[in-house]
Structure 1
């Protein structure tokens, strides 16, 4: 193991290494600062070749670096004392277990034949030189994963007793530690957590079920510890266990600037209003795993007017909100997080009860839009779990003002004058003219750069089919949304409006995705019809570079055929006398994406 090689190198350094001959090589090999730069550069190259991220993301540590490349740095540690110190900066920077510290660095609980002993053979104490060796390595560790010990022979209870009574141990055990991933709820892990809690800046709590100790009780103990001692913690990810008790304690760590939460099942017992107790919070992420046996009930929609008018006293620095959950949980979060400073909102709706859940999406969007007038990005996606719509369930909600909030949403949307990104993907609406309502609101958004409207009908009934806007709606977009760069829109190309010869567009649109008419439809049309479409689009969007007939996530041969058709049309359009010399920036329609 590379850990054993490093320890052997330590002993070699203690005995002394022959000095190199004087000269430039010796000056290089014995220069600590220069050697550290060399080793760190080698680390970056080796990580890149191994396909490993050079920086551990906050809360992302689960395993240490691959042993295959750590062996190279272990050998470098044996060159001389300078290379030794530079190498262990790399080798012990990210550790995936406590085992190397207790089984290798300290005189672990082994007999002379290297077999484990039941009791600690050194229970009377660890000598100062042994603690020095421990500190030499532990002081290099910046990120640590507290996983369960792989060795069943290691007596963790004896270690806990030893650390609880020993007065000579270093405090803290890991002075450079900043990032922790914690999956073990063993007493030893909790004891070590008590030591590093005041110093770390990032922790992920994802306790497993591999212990006789209840995970819920361990979670409460750990989050209480963090609440009381984690004074420098800026990022926390509470993945398991997430419940009202652990959440309430996390919401009291006032130093947090970033918080990630994950729930299994419904969350009605969690008081999300306590998020406002985090004055420095800038980013909040929430994900949910649905429990089919415990579907979330609809929120009390009669309370909607009170929610809309609630005081905006939430976290003043909150800028980014990302939620992946079913609509009832979305509503709960939207109603509870009373901040007005959000700039980016990304909502992914999952549904285990699609009919009723989908009906409250406009409520959720209205709450967010009314509160956050400085919003720059609004992304909304809807994903069902393969369930069919039940028309009988929807019928009682038709025309009910308690559910019909599409107009409320689009009115609130029109006030978001700083919005640069608007994406509504696969979201079902019962309001058939929802596209027209959204486009009316879009004309009030002068800063918009990405417009993605891909809504769906709530049912398969003809009377519920969403009305697709005609081609002339692009004229309004060309005139009012001058900064637009990418547009994804379902358009009815049945008729081509007259080409606006008196209009010189300065619109910046470069990419347009039309997701209604297929190339087969166009092939049945006359050449004149096809050329008029090309002329019309060129007049509205002179900087257009890409035009496809599919959503960006699709494409393939179908999208390529559409682009090929427009490439051919471009050749003829450029020869038409209706296009003036100033129109040399004619649309260049490349292959689909």
Structure 2
């Protein structure tokens, strides 16, 4: 090709666009282009496993492979170097890379700082080897360049020898260093009581927004919290996580940190009634609270404690928390009951009660009363979830003999719960899983109640109904007839998960009933399997579901871990979608016929 033609093609705008259409301001410079590439690599990078000691509050870290890829990219040129270190040094899980700096090397007359950090340690330089003054100046320049990019620091139990006190003192008092070791640092996860880690953590306390603590002893935790109180600033620490069992001493400090908006605490094992959780009500800005308690399966005394005093009096003494919007509690029934009697939020939007199994699970009968107490105080709830964190948890029959006979206890009274839930007009999500009830009519009480919730989109009811006679068992679970009632009256539902009794008796849907129900996910919890149906009953079942819920997309996800039932519901899902395809084709044909006629 002639040279003129080649140059013409080279200068021709893409896609025939006008040559003047792209202004110079729309062209990316090298730094912008490098930043886009690095950002893409960061977003697609696989995430490594956080250190075990801080697993409850650690941020996500780049995997080793992703770090190596970004480090290689940093060697392309200075532009890529500046872009990659923003990612590589943003979250660090060790101080070692920052304290193991190599002297700058000279290329001609210019010094370069592009080489990896390794080799001579900061502590070695502090001993006076070589030219201390020159080394310290160069070192701090390099240190500050990288440390200025660090926003998250995980100071876990060190994998290297602890620094000596004298050397740490030298680090903290050096005139060569800047006023702030990590000026951009906002998030620290601390599980190491090593002197170096503690010094670094204490030096950045005034600027922190997020802090996670997990020490081996309570004293170190309390001391750190006391220092945080001294160094409080306006708009200071906002999120605090304590992943070790919290004590009264720690709570007495925490409630003085008025800037906290999000708090996560690990509760000690056993009875927590004397822990004084009421102190948390003194946090004026607290909006999100998470309380987690591990249950000691060897403790046979605490799981048998049941409060027999008037529930109403117990709940009325709870401390007010008007600002709290999100509450999560994970423990057994007694701890959940204790939280409800000590804390009284009134502006909750989200409530999650995750019940942990104990040796007898008797205290699970307290949960309906706990739900009622919180719902009475929080009429603006949007999401309410309560249930066991493990499937198929059951109460031992020997543990509830006394409860079954004592019908005057609140454990038998579900009417207040149903009436209270019906008043939650903002509720969009309701999940009750394996909560025990003594009355066989609980399903038939809750399902009509849900009809009165105008914003309800997600309904999951999978209750543990403790029946006292064989006759009751036949009337416990909803039937396929109840699905028709839901289709006719629950026009807002998108997700429904309920158990059903006797799936093989397929009702007839009236021919004049045309449903437009928006339900997309239906999880029918049943022990029925493929061999319980004939091919005709399978087709009839799928047609029945299609008539009631024509927009259904998912029938099988609730059974994904149960191969025997998954086979049945996957097959029904395929049949259902074939009916939907036929219906869509028929509608299209009718539309085309109408257009032709007009």
State TM-score, norm by structure 1. 0.77
Instruction: Please report how far the alpha carbon of residue 269 of structure 1 lies from its aligned counterpart in structure 2 after TM superposition.
Output: 3.5
Q: State the Cα RMSD in Å.
A: 4.2
Pairing partner for 2:479 from 470, 474, 483: 470
Determine the structure 1 residue equivalent to 2:385.
379
Determine the structure 2 residue equivalent to 1:435.
443
Instruction: Please report how far the alpha carbon of residue 450 of structure 1 lies from its aligned counterpart in structure 2 after TM superposition.
Output: 1.5
1:422 to 1:72, Cα distance in 2 relative to 1, 3 A: closer
Matches within 5 A, 1:27-46: 34-46=29-41
Determine the structure 2 residue equivalent to 1:514.
524
Pairing partner for 1:242 from 240, 246, 251: 246
Partner SS, residue 206 of structure 2? coil
Determine the structure 2 residue equivalent to 1:287.
292
Determine the structure 2 residue equivalent to 1:331.
337
Give CA deviations for 1:317-360 in whole Å, capped at 9, x if unaligned.
Answer: x2222222111111122223311211122221012143421211
- The separation in 1 between residues aligned to 2:221 and 2:283, in whole angstroms, is 20
Structure 1 residue 228 corresponds to structure 2 residue 223: no
1:479 to 1:81, Cα distance in 2 relative to 1, 3 A: closer
Matches within 5 A, 1:417-432: 417-432=425-440
Partner SS, residue 100 of structure 2? helix
Determine the structure 2 residue equivalent to 1:276.
281
Determine the structure 1 residue equivalent to 2:46.
51
Determine the structure 2 residue equivalent to 1:523.
533
Pairing partner for 1:302 from 297, 309, 316: 309
Determine the structure 1 residue equivalent to 2:100.
103
Partner SS, residue 104 of structure 1? coil
Q: 2:326·2:351 contact (CA, 8 Å) conserved in 1?
A: yes
Q: 2:546·2:579 contact (CA, 8 Å) conserved in 1?
A: no
Pairing partner for 2:149 from 115, 140, 153: 140
Instruction: Please report how far the alpha carbon of residue 436 of structure 1 lies from its aligned counterpart in structure 2 after TM superposition.
Output: 1.4
1:180 to 1:492, Cα distance in 2 relative to 1, 3 A: same
- The separation in 2 between residues aligned to 1:288 and 1:261, in whole angstroms, is 9
Matches within 5 A, 1:124-135: 127-135=136-144
Q: 2:344·2:374 contact (CA, 8 Å) conserved in 1?
A: no
Partner SS, residue 135 of structure 1? helix
Instruction: Please report how far the alpha carbon of residue 55 of structure 1 lies from its aligned counterpart in structure 2 after TM superposition.
Output: 13
1:381 to 1:166, Cα distance in 2 relative to 1, 3 A: same
State TM-score, norm by structure 2. 0.76
Instruction: Please report how far the alpha carbon of residue 501 of structure 1 lies from its aligned counterpart in structure 2 after TM superposition.
Output: 4.8
- The separation in 1 between residues aligned to 2:539 and 2:193, in whole angstroms, is 69
- The separation in 2 between residues aligned to 1:534 and 1:78, in whole angstroms, is 61
Matches within 5 A, 1:40-189: 40-52=35-47, 60-61=57-58, 65-71=62-68, 73-74=70-71, 83-104=80-101, 120-122=126-128, 127-152=136-161, 155-163=163-171, 165-166=173-174, 169-189=177-197
- The separation in 1 between residues aligned to 2:180 and 2:29, in whole angstroms, is 29
- The separation in 2 between residues aligned to 1:401 and 1:330, in whole angstroms, is 18
What runs of 5+ residues in structure 1 fail to find an aligned partner?
1-32, 108-112, 210-214, 586-593
Determine the structure 1 residue equivalent to 2:492.
483
Q: Tell me the number of residue pairs that the alignment of Structure 1 and Structure 2 aligns.
A: 533
1:75 to 1:441, Cα distance in 2 relative to 1, 3 A: closer
1:222 to 1:35, Cα distance in 2 relative to 1, 3 A: farther
Q: 2:48·2:64 contact (CA, 8 Å) conserved in 1?
A: no
1:118 to 1:196, Cα distance in 2 relative to 1, 3 A: closer
Q: 2:356·2:389 contact (CA, 8 Å) conserved in 1?
A: yes
- The separation in 1 between residues aligned to 2:472 and 2:390, in whole angstroms, is 19
Determine the structure 1 residue equivalent to 2:263.
259
Give CA deviations for 1:175-194 in whole Å, capped at 9, x if unaligned.
Answer: 11011111101233222222
Q: 2:458·2:495 contact (CA, 8 Å) conserved in 1?
A: yes
Instruction: Please report how far the alpha carbon of residue 134 of structure 1 lies from its aligned counterpart in structure 2 after TM superposition.
Output: 2.8
1:97 to 1:519, Cα distance in 2 relative to 1, 3 A: closer
Pairing partner for 2:452 from 418, 431, 444: 444
Partner SS, residue 133 of structure 1? helix
- The separation in 1 between residues aligned to 2:589 and 2:341, in whole angstroms, is 52
- The separation in 1 between residues aligned to 2:35 and 2:431, in whole angstroms, is 42
Instruction: Please report how far the alpha carbon of residue 174 of structure 1 lies from its aligned counterpart in structure 2 after TM superposition.
Output: 0.9
1:117 to 1:224, Cα distance in 2 relative to 1, 3 A: closer
Determine the structure 2 residue equivalent to 1:405.
413
What runs of 5+ residues in structure 2 fail to find an aligned partner?
1-27, 105-118, 591-598
1:474 to 1:224, Cα distance in 2 relative to 1, 3 A: same
Pairing partner for 1:204 from 190, 194, 212: 212
Q: 2:393·2:434 contact (CA, 8 Å) conserved in 1?
A: no
1:335 to 1:34, Cα distance in 2 relative to 1, 3 A: farther
431-440 vs 162-171, greater mean Cα deviation: 162-171
Give CA deviations for 1:183-233 in whole Å, capped at 9, x if unaligned.
Answer: 1012332222221011111111122x4xxxxx2110111122223324322
1:159 to 1:509, Cα distance in 2 relative to 1, 3 A: same
Partner SS, residue 412 of structure 1? helix
448-457 vs 559-568, greater mean Cα deviation: 559-568
- The separation in 2 between residues aligned to 1:459 and 1:132, in whole angstroms, is 74
Partner SS, residue 345 of structure 2? coil
Determine the structure 2 residue equivalent to 1:14.
none
Instruction: Please report how far the alpha carbon of residue 517 of structure 1 lies from its aligned counterpart in structure 2 after TM superposition.
Output: 6.5
